[in-house]
Structure 1
Amino acid sequence: MGFVRVGFMLSLMMVCAVGAEHGIKLFNVKDYGAVSDGKADNSKHGMRHVNGMEELGFGSQVAHTLLNSVTFQGPCKGWMAFVIKGILKAPTDIQSLFSNDIWINFQYVDRLAVSGGGTLDGQGAVAWPHNEGIKNPNSRPLLCTMGFGFVTNSRVHHLRSIDSKNTHFGLFRCDHMNFTKIRISAPANSPNTDGIKIGQSSRIKISRVVIGTGDDCISLVSGNKKIDISQVVCGPGHGISIGSLGRYKNERDVEEISVKNCTFYGTSNGVRIKTWASPIPVEASNIIYEDIVMNNVSNPIIIDQQYCPYPPCSQTPSNVQVSGVTYKNIRGSSSSNVAVSLRCSQSKPCKDITMEDIDLWHQGAGSVSEFCSHVSGVSYGKQNPPSCL
């Protein structure tokens, strides 16, 4: 099939390379009119759409380069590599904030590699005051920095994303993707700037990633299966979250989730499962959290089945079934008195919850406790605070 390579070399030059069976051909988009002054929109330069191996899309260029929203769409023949070196800047004009949902969008691509050591600068500060988020269900979402839709057998590595307007990396209906050696950052007060948000995807691996942002470091929403998260450093942020679940009709189950060897610094939550108080049925099951370190985390271990960030809140018990969740070898400091909170649903109590070797203490001079509501399970080994299971 050959090797197809699409590169955006942003430090010295940006190139687009198409590899055929008998070699690799390089295209320098500067030869097509691209400039790197940080002001001109270069999305119109170079090749814009993928169709077999004939047209390979995107347009971007050298250091401090402005690029409007673009979609890179398959199918393609063979591997493709999108290489970024330097700084690629998102637009900041108000019209662009709501014209698209995703800044750099990959769709329907099999065997894609995105890498290069460069930086994606979402320039989010101009957009955050316009982010109404969940408070207004009819509001238009701001730009996700990089999106992957129906992308398979692919990898993303050696990148940095800063100051996204919304989610940094978003996945929808992807399968068999690896994310590694990525740094994600945005201010702690930046709204809805999730680090990596995954929906209806399977066989996703995230490892050796550093995330500090204003929302969830990693968010696993409806329909995810076989997600493997390891060696993630999270903070600031809202932790690694499953959910929220149960808000929308036709949501799909979340199952076979593994979170291991992760560290949290000053986050509002550590490992969290959150569901809305609503009648919508869905399940979250077969989940393991293991070898986790907490440093001054507000809610190190939390299941919240009354999730409602903005009132008014429904009084209907959550219809999300949480089951088969294991917490093993979780240790460190809590900034709140309740280090473990398992607030489950009255109509669908959490079941088969296992707590093994938990050692959490108060960051200050106080003590910590554990809260349980509508939950059944077992505990083994050290239990600090004392288990309520």
Structure 2
Amino acid sequence: MKVAPLTNWADHRDRSLQSNHVFSVLRYGAYGDGRHDDTKALSKAWAAACSSLNPSTVLIPKGKKCLTKHVTFFGPCKSSIKLMIEGTLVAPPKRSYWIEDTIRHWILFRSVRGLTVTGGGTIDGNGKFWWQNSCKVNTKLALTFYSCTNLKVNNLEVLNSQQIHISMERCSDVRMSRLSIRAPSTSPNTDGIHIAHSKDVKVMDCAIKTGDDCMSIEDGTENLHVKNIVCGPGHGISIGSLGDRNSQAQVANITIDGVRLHDTANGARIKTWQGGRGYAKNIVFKNMIMDNVRNPIIIDQNYCDSATPCNKQVKEHDDHDGFIHLFMYIDFIFC
């Protein structure tokens, strides 16, 4: 299975300049040298593009490396908007650059409709110093899309996130494709793509190599189609965990079709906490090729990943208590 290579978007820049209003971060004071703080320049370029009545582009030019601290790109915008990353966005290298109020997110898109993030460039989370002091309770997300609609994310390299690389929360009508997501196999909690409370999502033609789940599919996910993914190393593709702290969770209509997994802890996985309620239904895994996968298929209804021990589960759930409804069509190819 081959994943389409990243495309150099420089050849398409002239056409983009003619059809859209382009707001280069250099016009707003960005240094682009990877050492000076370009957060304000990036925010100013976004604000100008977002307020434009015409479809607009925020440009990080090729060959430029923009160091940015936490930044939130707020919507709604007055027209469709594109973040064209031809160069690199890089996170600060020291904890002192971060403040406690925003430490959970690095780059956050909030309530944006008609957003495209693309360009053939790189988003580098610079996560090494976070991994050395990892804390799962205070999860950090490199690239977060929250309450976004009509969203496209494609043709990017996302590297070395502090923890989760790309998080999709409360989004709809999403297309993600041609993404290369990479972190060392020893990096903790560095999920590739995390999806929760989102619907009508397609993920295609991606290569994911991380220290945790290649994809984690959580509560509220509905109508997700995943096609042509290369996964490994990592923990595989997981639905869940669901139902932590005795909560109710629902996941439905998930199709994972055409995945190659190599050197992963798991293949197809569904994990639910004891005491949780809800369902995971209409789950399809098919056309999966696995090489050196420790647990090809694993359904765990007694999951526990807590600082304190969980109670041992001794009673089977009935139809009204727990994730009893696991409907799964499985078509695996082993090699």
Q: 1:115 pairs with 115, 118, 136, which one?
A: 118
* Structure 2 residue aligned with 1:73: 74
Deviation string for 1:322-374 (max 9, x for gaps)?
4211101x1225xxxxxxxxxxxxxxxxxxxxxxxxxxxxxxxxxxxxxxxxx
Measured after TM superposition, the shift of residue 34 of structure 1 is 1.2
Among 213, 217, 227, the residue aligned to 1:216 = 213
Kindly state the Cα deviation for residue 280 of structure 1 after the two structures are TM-superposed: 2.5
Which residue type is aligned with residue 305 of structure 1? Q
Kept in 2, the 8 Å contact 1:274–1:304? The answer is yes
In 1, the alpha carbon distance for the partners of 2:57 and 2:96 equals: 23
Q: What is the distance in 2 between the residues matched to 1:191 and 1:256?
A: 29
1:47 aligns with 45
> Who is 2:109 aligned against?
106
Tell me which of the two structures has the higher relative contact order, counting C-alpha pairs closer than 8 angstroms and 6 or more residues apart. Answer: 2
Partner of 1:308: 304
2:33 to 29, 34, 37: 37
Match of 2:3 in 1: none
1:221 and 1:245 in contact (8 A); partners too: yes
Q: Distance in 2 between matches of 1:154 and 1:237?
A: 26
> Partner residue of 1:252?
249
CA distance in 2, matches of 1:205, 1:10: 22
User: Could you list the per-position Cα deviations for residues 116-156 of structure 1 after superposition, in whole angstroms to 9, with x for gaps in the alignment?
Assistant: 000111111011122121xxxxx4323x1111011111211
Q: Which blocks of at least 5 consecutive residues in structure 1 are unaligned?
A: 1-8, 134-138, 334-389
RMSD across aligned C-alpha pairs, in angstroms? 2.7
Uncovered stretches (5+) of structure 2, i.e. residues with no partner: 1-7
Specify the structure having the higher radius of gyration (Cα). Answer: 1
Structure-to-structure mapping, 1:139-178, within 5 angstroms: 139-142=137-140, 144-178=141-175
Residue 192 of structure 2: aligned partner: 195
SS at match of 1:176: strand
CA contact (8 A) 1:44 1:59 kept: no
Contact persistence 1:47–1:57 (CA under 8 A): no
Aligned to 1:204: 201
Distance in 1 (CA, whole Å) between partners of 2:81 and 2:57 is 11
Kindly state the Cα deviation for residue 164 of structure 1 after the two structures are TM-superposed: 0.5
One-letter amino acid matched to 2:138: R
Number of residue pairs matched by the alignment: 312
Q: Secondary structure in 2 aligned to 1:315?
A: coil
Per-residue deviation, residues 238-287 of structure 1 (Å, max 9, x unmatched):
0000000110455431000000111100100001001112x221111111
Aligned-pair identity (%): 35
Q: Which amino acid aligns with 1:47?
A: A
| Structure-1 separation of matches of 2:245 and 2:60 | 37
Aligned to 2:323: 320
Q: In the alignment, which residue of structure 2 is the partner of 1:240?
A: 237
Residue range with higher mean Cα deviation, 148-157 or 26-35: 26-35
The TM-score, its normalising length taken from structure 2, stands at: 0.85
Change (3 A) 1:100 1:325: same
